[in-house]
Amino acid sequence: MGYVADPALVERARALLAEHPVVDGHNDLPWALREQVGYDLDRRDVAADQTEFLHTDLPRLRAGGVGAQFWSVYVPPSLAGDAAVSATLEQIDCVRALAERYPDQLRLARTADEVEAARADGRIASLLGAEGGHSIACSLATLRALYELGVRYMTLTHNDNVPWADSATDEPVAHGLTAFGEEVVREMNRLGMLVDLSHVAADTMRDALRVSRAPVIFSHSSSRAMCDHPRNIPDDVLERLPGNGGVAMATFVPKFVLPEAIAWTQAADAFVRARGLDPLASTPEVKEAQQAYEAAHPRPVATAATVADHLDHMREVAGVDHLGLGGDYDGCPFLPAGLEDVSGYPNLIAELLGRGWSEADLAKLTWQNALRVLRDAEAVARDLRATERPSITRIEDTAG
């Protein structure tokens, strides 16, 4: 099943993105490069078309109207302690290597002003987001070190709980944030690192919104009312975003946007695991197994319109000032028709134009909201650093 956008609306979308490009909240290219080629960028030259292997390369980012990208410096929860920290550093090193290799295309950015400057110079601003609190190994000093290396958001958990916060896809233990988890959020506020609530349990979302002094983000999550998956955002949480000032960046992952895709994905993942493979791995063997399952069991296909349905609902609940986009490219095996890779953003913008979204509101969705949140977090941090010292709290000093 394909998706055909109105050509006239696509042209309008491209013109809008030339003025207000996408700030995408989450792309897993660094982990895909690790899995596929061990960070050998000669073997995956993303200046050339990598459609056979990846959702992301530089020509398709340009075609998609992406002006700033949060690159995920993800490591799996199976890595813990020092191993998780080291792997996170290797991921950061990969993004740095990409920026050094393609200086005419990419530029590292740490602040909203640097994002704006990169765009003005025709570069794609490259920011870092750590995906999972296991990356700091329960150490606030490690959190500060990641900030100094340029990490500007941390997702509090990935698919598994951390000792101080519950994940959306694990059994509840803390029922939100522990006392140490609250200290992590406060220290992130003091630093100016955005608190990312994708992947976390709903109670963790609520606790973080209660504790945070700065706007939060959801780097890649959609609406739970539209698709009842625990990775999505409940309406009561979306309703609290205006009071916090945060942004929910809708994701494109089919099992998070299309209810029929949930059971199909569970069965496909079981098929891949039965072959001794990790369905989250970005390897040719996993891709082959997924394609074999799909050939025997055609998958339900989401489209750009499915994602637009989520954005319509999220806008109704949270307001247009609190929405963004986080595709999760190279972090999932399948994507909606019309959004198959990073060149697809004009199709989504065209779909929203056809639904009556104004160009002013679409500019907020693609660029302005994300930049505002980054700038607001920087302002909060300036104030907090004037009155608060770096936290030296250890997890063993707290009840959790």
pLDDT at 66: 98
134 is catalytic: no
160 is catalytic: no
- Which pLDDT tens digit goes with each residue over 47-96? 999 999 999 999 999 999 999 999 999 999 999 999 999 999 999 999 99
pLDDT at 1: 55
Average pLDDT, the chain: 97
- Which pLDDT tens digit goes with each residue over 347-367? 999 999 999 999 999 999 999
Q: Which long-range contacts (CB under 8 A, 24 or more apart) does 47-53 make?
A: 47/102, 47/105, 51/341
239 is catalytic: no
Residue 104 has pLDDT above 80, yes or no: yes
28 is catalytic: yes
Interatomic CA distance for residues 157 and 164, integer angstroms: 9
CA dihedral 109, 115, 119, 123 (to 10 degrees): 10
Residue 208 has pLDDT above 50, yes or no: yes
Average pLDDT over residues 184-198: 98
List of residues 6+ apart from 205 with CB closer than 8 A: 197, 233, 234, 237
Question: CA geometry: angle at 299 spanning 227 and 22, to 5°?
Answer: 55
> From the candidates 220, 229, 310, 313, which is the catalytic residue?
220
Average pLDDT over residues 220-232: 98
Residue 282 has pLDDT above 80, yes or no: no
> From the candidates 55, 158, 310, 313, which is the catalytic residue?
158
Residue 112 has pLDDT above 90, yes or no: yes
Percentage of the residues of the chain whose pLDDT score is greater than 90: 95
> From the candidates 24, 28, 183, 351, which is the catalytic residue?
28
Q: Whole-prediction pTM value?
A: 0.96
pLDDT at 400: 44
Average pLDDT over residues 140-148: 98
- Which pLDDT tens digit goes with each residue over 330-343? 999 889 999 999 99
The SS3 of residue 27 is strand
Q: How many CA atoms lie within 13 A of 218 on its CB side?
A: 35
Helix (H) or strand (E) holding 22: strand 22-27
Average pLDDT over residues 261-285: 91
CB 248 within 8 A of CB 238: yes
Instruction: Find the length of the chain.
Output: 400
**Cα 231 to chain center, whole Å?**
12
Interatomic CA distance for residues 373 and 300, integer angstroms: 35
Least confident of 101-115, 156-170, 287-301: 287-301
26 is catalytic: yes
DSSP one-letter string for 240-255: THHHHT-EEEE---HH
> From the candidates 20, 55, 134, 199, which is the catalytic residue?
199
Average pLDDT over residues 2-22: 96
> From the candidates 182, 196, 207, 328, which is the catalytic residue?
328
20 is catalytic: no
List of residues 6+ apart from 110 with CB closer than 8 A: 127, 150, 152
CB 15 within 8 A of CB 317: no
The SS3 of residue 162 is strand
Nearest to 310 by CA among 263, 360, 258: 258
Nearest to 198 by CA among 332, 94, 63: 332
166 is catalytic: no
Average pLDDT over residues 204-216: 98
Neighbour-count burial of 228, counting CB atoms closer than 10 A to its CB (0-12 exposed, 13-18 middle, 19+ buried): exposed
65 conformational bin, left if phi > 0, alpha if psi -120 to 50, beta if neither? left
> From the candidates 24, 35, 131, 207, which is the catalytic residue?
131
Interatomic CA distance for residues 132 and 124, integer angstroms: 25
- Which one-letter DSSP state was computed for residue 47? T
Least confident of 38-47, 48-57, 163-172, 281-290: 281-290
